[in-house]
């Protein structure tokens, strides 16, 4: 089984790919929800999938955790919880870029991913053309996807966003630049420089509607972008972008601080 945890925002989201290949979830949003719900969500899913928490832990093969940039508190709580849960257990751990996980929201849920067998999510990659518009969310269906750039943003307040661009290609996604805390005006310029640009992530509507002040992030937007299922999709990508295999005692959240603000030009796919 594969456990995925997303805690980098106000959202607390846990997904579990069961031994039969199906995915079950728990998801909530709210202040201080991580400390109250995260461990209980994990226990509920393990028990639902295997009959007991202990049996579920014995069947657990991999854990993937969203590792930032994002909420300091949420990331720390998830890391601390995993240290306790995985103590003295031989379970593979992957730390995932939160921005790469959000980028995977463009890929639609596919029943074909739920194939029987403990490695179903990974083995399905051989038969899926990720660049096929049929595998993208309705927003992107019909778009000219060759060399399309996916701009991922998370509101970092004060006119800045955590930002990373990806190119959509046959094997899923290609990283065009490392994550940065960037002025929103710089991102707007990047969007206008490529007519095959798509914007996803929390507070993306600030750019679409040219808002000078942040608008409230809707629940549906949070559920689309900050969902642990996106991390399972990230594992599916043949390129394994945004993923790092780590030891549990070496897990450290990835932060982008104020001194990492960068206002340089943002590359497009043609620059890579």
CATH classification of 139-220+258-271, choosing from 1.10.3720.10, 3.30.420.200, 3.40.50.300, 3.40.50.720? 3.30.420.200
Q: For domain 2-125+225-250, which architecture applies?
A: 2-Layer Sandwich (3.30)
- 195-244: pLDDT as tens digits: 677 788 877 666 655 544 444 455 666 788 899 999 999 988 877 889 99
* Distance from C-alpha of 157 to C-alpha of 179, rounded to nearest angstrom: 16
Contacts of 114 (CB under 8 A, 6+ apart): 20, 21, 22, 23, 120
The CA–CA distances, whole Å, from 69 to 95, 99, 100, 246 equal 12, 7, 10, 17
**Domain map (residue ranges) of the chain:** 2-125+225-250, 139-220+258-271
Are 2-125+225-250 and 139-220+258-271 in the same CATH fold?
A: yes
Whole-model pTM? 0.79
Q: What is the pLDDT of residue 40?
A: 95
Q: What is the pLDDT of residue 32?
A: 85
* Distance from C-alpha of 119 to C-alpha of 195, rounded to nearest angstrom: 38
Of 100, 268, 93, nearest to 172 by C-alpha is 100
Q: Which residues of the chain have pLDDT under 70?
A: 108-147, 170-171, 194-195, 204-221, 257-272
């Amino acid at each position: 089984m594969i456990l995925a945890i997303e805690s980098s925002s106000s959202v607390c989201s846990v997904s579990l790919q069961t031994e039969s290949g199906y995915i079950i979830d728990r998801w909530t949003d709210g202040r201080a929800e991580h400390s109250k719900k995260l461990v209980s969500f994990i226990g509920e899913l393990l028990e639902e999938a295997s009959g007991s928490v202990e049996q579920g832990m014995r069947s657990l093969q991999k854990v993937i955790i969203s590792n930032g940039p994002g909420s300091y508190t949420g990331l720390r709580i998830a890391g601390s919880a995993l240290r306790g849960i995985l103590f003295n257990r031989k379970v593979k751990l992957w730390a995932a870029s939160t921005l790469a996980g959000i980028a995977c929201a463009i890929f639609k849920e596919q029943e074909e991913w739920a194939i029987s067998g403990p490695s179903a999510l990974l083995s399905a990659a051989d038969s899926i053309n990720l660049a096929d518009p049929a595998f993208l969310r309705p927003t992107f269906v019909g778009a000219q996807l060759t060399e399309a750039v996916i701009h991922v943003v998370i509101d970092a307040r004060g006119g800045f966003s955590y930002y990373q661009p990806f190119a959509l290609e046959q094997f899923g996604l290609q990283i065009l630049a490392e994550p940065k805390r960037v002025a929103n005006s710089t991102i707007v310029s990047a969007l206008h420089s490529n007519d095959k640009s798509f914007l996803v992530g929390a507070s993306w509507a600030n750019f679409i509607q040219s808002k000078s002040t942040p608008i409230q992030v809707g629940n549906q937007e949070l559920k689309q972008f900050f969902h642990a299922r996106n991390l399972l999709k990230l594992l599916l990508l043949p390129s394994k972008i945004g993923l790092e295999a780590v030891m549990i005692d070496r897990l450290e959240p990835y932060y982008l601080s104020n001194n990492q603000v960068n206002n340089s030009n943002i590359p497009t796919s043609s620059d890579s």
